[in-house]
Amino acid sequence: MVERQQNLADMNQSEWRTWLADFGAENGFHEELGPDHTALFVQGNSTLIVTFENLDHVFERSESKLPWGFDFVRSRGWSILGLMAHDWTWYRDGNVHDFFDRLRDEGFFAKFEKVVFYGASMGGYAACAFAAAAPGSTVIAISPQATLDRTVASWETRYRKAWVRDFEDRYGYAPDMLQSAQKAYLFYDPLAPLDAMHMALFRGDHINKLKCRFLGHRIASAMQGMGILKPVVEGCVDGSLGPAEFYRLLRNRREFPRYLKDLLLRLDQLNRPGLMVLYCEYVLARRRGPAFRKRLNQARKQLEKR
């Protein structure tokens, strides 16, 4: 493994993509889905995890140079099908749609006892949308969008580059596509207005909406930083994750620096010095933090002037 990572670290992206194709051919399959998307399948046991992410992120940020959670997924013995977009496409491409149609029609998904679609943000949208190709599947979507169709989500001000994409074609409107899933776990911050508006469009008794207050849009990276992403995914895969267990895991945010700093900024905006004092005292009792010490002193001065 160390030797493999060293060799990959020395490759440019063109060399790496050649290696990726060879790796897929040896362990399952690899397909270029037109100029903008790549699919990599590696055979494991009867549980299949389908992931969605940006190809550049895989090359630049992944130590293994393989799709999200590859080593984690393989350590559980699961099979993995990783879809990689070469740009912010939202997977709105006829080549991708044809690929999932073909896998469905050829009975690829039917070969597995359990099929799980996973993704975050753009990948979360795709996980919900393409779950329709495997009815009865499980979906894990973090901060997903329902659609970027301007006639439906004209209030969405982000992702301008993808607004020109066709969200009315096959696998277009994620809430409708998600109806064929057996179970869906959707994670979002209800205090992030745009994400909360997308979440309101998803409805169904099979959908579990799990609130991640004060984590914003980057919930997946926050979960990873807190060390809870793997147990959350495992709980979703085996169906054991309920609200009580999830919110118990989420308590790890109390020790997560990014969460503590973000909450500090929110309290600044509220201009409530009494609450600021209590919060900073709580944090400083557990860790060092110059920014929290500074805010504590400022808040105490504000209270003295009242």
Q: What is the pLDDT of residues 221-237, one digit of tens each?
A: 999 999 999 999 999 99
Helices (H) and strands (E) in the chain, counts: 14, 8
**CB count, 10 Å around CB of 59?**
17
What's the pLDDT band for 63 if we cut at 50, 70, 90?
low
Burial class (CB in 10 A: 0-12, 13-18, 19+), 258: middle
**Residue 13 φ/ψ, nearest 5 degrees:** -65, -35
Average of per-residue pLDDT across 53-75:
69
Q: Is the pLDDT of residue 6 over 50?
A: no
Q: Is the pLDDT of residue 197 over 70?
A: yes
What end-to-end distance do the CA atoms of the chain give, in Å? 62
- Per-residue pLDDT, 9: 65
- Per-residue pLDDT, 65: 61
Report yes or no on whether pTM surpasses 0.85.
Answer: yes
Q: Is the pLDDT of residue 182 over 70?
A: yes
71-121 pLDDT, tens digit per residue, is 888 889 999 999 999 889 999 999 999 999 999 999 999 999 999 999 999
CA 268 to chain CA mean position, Å: 29
- Per-residue pLDDT, 74: 86
**Contact call for residues 81 and 39 (beta carbons, < 8 A):** yes
What's the pLDDT band for 42 if we cut at 50, 70, 90?
very high
Q: Cα–Cα distance between 47 and 200 in angstroms, integer? A: 30
How high is the mean pLDDT of the chain? 91
For the chain, the structural domain boundaries read 2-252, 258-305
Q: Cα–Cα distance between 105 and 95 in angstroms, integer? A: 15
- Per-residue pLDDT, 53: 87
Name the more confident of 63 and 254: 254
Select from 120, 101, 103, 109 the least CA-distant residue to 53: 120
**CB count, 10 Å around CB of 44?**
18
**Contact call for residues 143 and 124 (beta carbons, < 8 A):** yes
Is 2-252 in CATH node 3.40.50.1820? yes
Detail the DSSP E strand segments found in 90-234.
Answer: 114-120, 138-142, 183-188, 207-211
Average of per-residue pLDDT across 118-137:
97
What's the pLDDT band for 285 if we cut at 50, 70, 90?
very high
DSSP secondary structure letter of residue 169: S
CA-based R_g, the chain, Å: 21
Q: Cα–Cα distance between 221 and 232 in angstroms, integer? A: 13
Burial class (CB in 10 A: 0-12, 13-18, 19+), 60: exposed
**Contact call for residues 198 and 146 (beta carbons, < 8 A):** yes
138-150 pLDDT, tens digit per residue, is 999 999 999 999 9
**Contact call for residues 84 and 37 (beta carbons, < 8 A):** yes
